[in-house]
């Protein structure tokens, strides 16, 4: 839909609407990436996006998830603007509540992208933390987002805070509604830099819940 095959990152998966890739059952949302191919793509995966159905400006956004760990997988819980008044990426902003890559064990990344700071300029702002057993246990990944800053948490523990250096949209486009994306990418500019697991495989991200809290 964006005219960017591989989501601009050189990713190798094709996102399908098959229950092989996205399934809600037994109180869990399961997103699965696998070596099942589709058209010219060597892998399939799933992505859930709440645009037009769950759009939020400020509040606490919390997702409880268990992550894949296969080499080459790149799971993410993140947010994009729904109707950005500032333009497309990266000007409109991006909030990465959680990112992980299969070649790093028990490491969670938190990132912010803006016009001034984004991976295209090699100066995106973020941090990372060691969180044990991310692929075998559920953890709660959350942000507390208000008009002045965004705080990132894992299991209620503050891990990173973003406060803009200047009060301008180049540093703070986060004053408009954003929506959630939950997905597993395969390969790409980050997930694939140390290769992809050989042979046939599949791996999943399990979502126990998504909760949003806002002041009335």
Residues noted as catalytic: 94, 99
Q: Residue 127: exposed, middle, or buried by beta-carbon count in 10 A (0-12, 13-18, 19+)?
A: middle
Would the CA dihedral through 163, 81, 96, 213 be positive or negative? Answer: positive
Identify the three-state secondary structure at position 93.
coil
Give the single-character DSSP code of 191: H
Let me know: does 128 contact 110? Beta carbons within 8 Å: yes
According to DSSP, the β-strands at 73-81 and 178-186 are: antiparallel
Q: Residue 89: exposed, middle, or buried by beta-carbon count in 10 A (0-12, 13-18, 19+)?
A: middle
Q: What is the Cα–Cα distance from 44 to 21, expressed in whole angstroms?
A: 7
């Amino acid at each position: 839909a964006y005219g960017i095959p591989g989501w601009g990152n050189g990713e190798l998966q094709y996102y399908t609407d098959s229950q092989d890739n996205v399934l809600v059952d037994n109180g869990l949302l399961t997103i699965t990436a696998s070596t099942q191919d589709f058209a010219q793509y060597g892998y399939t995966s799933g992505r859930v996006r709440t645009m037009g159905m769950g759009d939020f400006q400020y509040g606490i956004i919390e997702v409880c998830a268990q992550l894949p760990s296969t080499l080459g997988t790149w799971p993410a819980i993140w947010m994009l603007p729904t109707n950005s008044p500032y333009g497309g990426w990266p000007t409109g902003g991006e909030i990465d509540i959680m990112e992980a890559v299969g070649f790093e064990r028990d490491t969670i990344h938190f990132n912010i992208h803006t016009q001034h700071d984004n991976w295209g300029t090699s100066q995106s702002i973020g941090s990372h933390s060691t969180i044990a057993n991310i692929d075998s246990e559920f953890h709660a990944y959350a942000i507390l987002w208000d008009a002045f800053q965004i705080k990132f948490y894992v299991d209620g523990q503050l891990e990173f805070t973003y406060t803009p250096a200047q009060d301008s949209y180049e540093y703070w486009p986060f004053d408009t509604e954003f929506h959630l994306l939950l997905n597993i990418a395969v390969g790409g500019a980050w997930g694939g830099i140390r290769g992809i697991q050989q042979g046939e495989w599949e791996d999943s991200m399990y979502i126990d819940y998504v909760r949003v809290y806002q002041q009335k």
